[in-house]
Amino acid sequence: MQGKFITLEGTEGAGKSTNLAFIETWLQARGIDVVVTREPGGTAIGEKIRGLLLDKSHSEMHADTELLLMFAARAQHIQEKILPALAEGKWVVSDRFTDASYAYQGAARGMGFERIAPIEAWVQQGFQPHKTFIFDLPIEIGMARVASRGGQTDRFEQERHDFFEKVRGAYLQRAELAPARYAVLDASQSLEAVQAQIIANLQALLEA
Ligand code: Z5A
């Protein structure tokens, strides 16, 4: 039986990485074989592309280059890792996927959704996640969490507040257009409350 593909999306500091580990543990406890991964990245080639994309010395990177690199990494990720795992009956949980391209490159960089859709169709051939969790919260809360975590900033984290407002708005817009695929979670709540929302959705997915 085919496994299921779950993606986690949201603005920075929303709790995706934290809850990726939670979802992995929750599914494993129910006997499911889980592969956790991330974008950009997830494969040896993809992780090299991630390095190019996040390197803040690459301030000259054109938005088209950025988008095509995201999809180059994604093509490798789908073919090398995601599809084979699903075919073996494993569930795959990815920290970000194509919704991020719509939100960051389409909305925040101003490229428009219509330039992304044909590339998505070419790379994915109709392949889509079974469920996408959108960790939604006010930008300031996410930024404060990242600041208190400390560490280096990357090329995206140097963007300004209004850039991330556009990202947030685009995620919510996409969720409204296809409500069956998305679960919008209130990520400003406590970790326990966010995880209760996740469990409710995972249970529904298990029973589907
Ligand atoms: N990008 C793109 O532009 N186009 C694309 O197609 C793709 C990606 C695929 C890399 O992503 C960048 O690539 C990303 C978009 C772009 N840039 N940005 N910004 P990334 O996922 O690697 O980077 P990120 O989004 O910046 O990750 P992040 O800042 O680590 O966010 P997070 O994973 O959602 O947060 P977290 O690490 O789970 O949590 C942050 C802190 O908050 C941490 O200390 C937690 O313990 C704490 N936390 C988490 N949840 C809670 C709750 N509920 N209460 C209190 N504290 C909490």
The 10s digit of each residue's pLDDT in 40-92 is 999 999 999 999 999 999 999 999 999 999 999 999 999 999 999 999 999 99
Based on the number of CB atoms within 10 Å of its own CB, is 21 exposed (0-12), middle (13-18) or buried (19 or more)?
Answer: exposed
Residue 158: the pLDDT is 79
Residue 46 Cα to ligand 1 midpoint, Å, equals 18
d(CA 41, CA 54): 11
CB 155 within 8 A of CB 55: yes
Residue 42 is given by DSSP the state S
Whole-model pTM: value is 0.97
Residues of the chain under the 70 pLDDT cut? none
Query: Edge-to-edge strands of the sheet including 131-136?
Result: 34-38, 91-95, 5-10, 131-136, 182-186
Instruction: Map tokens 């560490």 to a residue.
Output: 151
Residue 28 Cα to ligand 1 midpoint, Å, equals 23
d(CA 115, CA 26): 37
Q: How many CA atoms lie within 13 A of 77 on its CB side?
A: 30
d(CA 197, CA 177): 21
The best mutation among 58, 140, 145, 166 to test binding of ligand 1, ranked by most ligand atoms within 8 Å of the C-beta, falls on: 145
Report all structural domains of the chain as residue ranges with CATH numbers, in order of start: 5-207 (3.40.50.300)
Residue 208: the pLDDT is 84
Residue 153: the pLDDT is 81
Residue 159 Cα to ligand 1 midpoint, Å, equals 14
CB 143 within 8 A of CB 13: yes
Q: What is the position in ligand 1's atom list of the atom closest to the CA of 188?
A: 53
Q: Helix or strand or coil: residue 91?
A: strand
Q: Helix or strand or coil: residue 5?
A: strand
Q: Find out whether the peptide bond into 129 is cis, omega within 30 degrees of 0.
A: no
- Residue 77 Cβ < 6 Å to ligand 1: no
Residue 156: the pLDDT is 85
d(CA 139, CA 75): 30
Checking 55-61 for CB contacts under 8 A at 24+ apart, the result is 55/154, 55/155, 56/153, 56/154, 56/155, 56/158, 58/155, 59/155, 61/155
d(CA 157, CA 54): 9
Q: What percent of the chain has pLDDT over 90?
A: 90
Residue 17: the pLDDT is 96
